[in-house]
Structure 1
């Protein structure tokens, strides 16, 4: 499997594939964002946003950008604010349904963690949505239940973080 997987930075030609993956991942929720919002988040930090190719197809993506600890992107905003922070916020990680169960999310996470360390980030934060808190806990993220989140992230959303 190793030679069939390639993680690279997002390029302009990837957006149709990213938007399709994002829409299919969030079909049953209100979490899906417009293409312009996704692009804005990636443009805020191109060095920490990635596409995962599996057998020359886009199988997943990850968007992460600097954000102050305990803050997070507003899902209703199309244009992202650019922050200078030692905290890297993992805004979105999606693996296409037909590619799940192969450890690809863990590969993307590992790649992000290594990149974050090389760029001197101190922490990685995220908001676990759709019942994914267990996955993130298994990957060493700790819940911060004291952080109030807007309804737009879903009723079971949990702010989480870990040290790089």
Structure 2
């Protein structure tokens, strides 16, 4: 009986561990160059989003702003990623790239029609600072690159 109990607890412990890991904040690197926004998921975010790098040409960016979760696009068809309602949305869903945990203030990047993604929804520890730095570089399309 104790072997059965021990075997039954293994999946429960694994699920609890996975949920605990999902509470860890997103780990993204956003770099802005003269020509592109480069988003690089780090650590487990690479696994959950199934992406190592996304390059968005600046010419395809139509807007960058902070929005509450309630203003983000609805999840469309699944192309690859992980979604557990209210816990994590990571990957590509209906043309939108997501890397979000439980945050409410999210950085939303809209792209022009015909781009690889229609929208990117990203969570950062300080989304307002990320927005300010990103908009500044995008507006100037400076000759240097900066990471945020």
**TM-score normalised according to structure 1 size:** 0.27
Higher relative contact order (CA 8 A, sep 6+): 2
User: Counting strand residues as a fraction of each chain, which structure ranks higher?
Assistant: 2
Of the two, which has the highest radius of gyration? 2
